[in-house]
Structure 1
Amino acid sequence: MSTHFFGEGNIGSVPEFKEFNNRNDEPRRLLRLNIYFDNPVPVKDGFEDRGGFWAPVEIWHRDAERWSNLYRKGMRVLVEGRTVKEEWEDAEENARVTFKIEARRVGILPYRLENVTLSSKPASTDNHDAA
């Protein structure tokens, strides 16, 4: 089961990069972000979070290693992708269900940023979506 997802949240831990062998082809690269998607509701003196949730966000792309140095814990991001239901058993053999997000795009929002530095060479535009 999967469905379209679009949400805003904060990266809650250091991004995790993994690389997997793909026989003789280029290895598959995964960047996993643990994100808290909040539900801010306006109150008298600011905002209150009502009913947010944590979700693992996976980015499969050849640039995942480079991006692992870009994303930081605490950064505010906008995620577009799809939710995927994963069924598994815990150590006591109880049936469990987890939802993860397979991201197509993860945009950095300007909150908490001190500066932005652009590279002198534009990134390749041949494939911006996850591989």
Structure 2
Amino acid sequence: MSTHFFGEGNIGSAPEYREFPNGNDEPSRLLRLNVYLDNPVPKKDGTFEDRGGFWAPVELWHRDAESWASLYQKGMRVLVEGRTVRDEWEDAQENERVTFKIEARRVGILPFRLESIKVSAKLLSAPPPQGE
């Protein structure tokens, strides 16, 4: 079971990149982000109060995940679109655990807390992607 998800928050730690063998085909590539998805509510004085935020693992499966690993940084504000998925696993003591993760379709960078952006010429001359 999954549910469509759309939210924004901050990356809480350095991105984690992994590759998984896929036989003779290109390996599957995963970029995992730990994101604090907040719920800022405006106050009368113009500031915001966070009500009901939570941490969530965000998984982005894509062939370009390796190059994106250096793009996303701790503290960066992002907009996440995807679906929530129930994830069942066992801990070190073999206790069954359940958590929810977000399988992202898109993770957009929001222009908060950024000092600069550098776009390489390689990215500018690349043809548009032919689907994901």
TM-score, scaled to structure 2:
0.90
In structure 2, relative to structure 1, the CA distance for the partners of 1:12 and 1:124 (3 Å cut) is: farther
Relative to structure 1, is the Cα distance of residues 103 and 127 closer, same or farther in structure 2, using a 3 angstrom cutoff? farther
The answer to whether residue 9 in structure 2 is matched with residue 3 in structure 1 is no
Aligned to 1:86: 87
Distance apart, 1:123 and its partner CA: 3.9
The residue that corresponds to 1:125 in the other structure is: 128
Q: C-alpha deviations, 1:41-96, integer Å up to 9, x for none?
A: 11244111111000000011111000000000000000000110012333444442
Structure 2 counterpart of 1:99, one-letter code: F
Q: Specify whether residues 124 and 105 from structure 1 end up closer, same or farther in structure 2 by C-alpha distance, changes over 3 A only.
A: farther
Question: What CA RMSD, in Å, does the superposition of the two structures yield over aligned residues?
Answer: 1.5
The answer for unaligned runs of 5 or more in structure 2 is: none
* Structure 1 unpaired stretches of 5+: none
- Cα distance, 1:124 vs. partner? 3.7
The one-letter amino acid of 2:129's match is D
- The aligned residue for residue 28 of structure 2 is 28
Moved more, 32-41 or 88-97: 88-97
CA distance in 2 between counterparts of 1:102 and 1:73 reads 19
| AA in 1 matched with 2:52 | G
Q: Residue 12 of structure 2 aligns with which residue?
A: 12
Percent sequence identity over matched residues?
Answer: 74
**Structure 2 residue matching 1:66: 3-state secondary structure:** helix
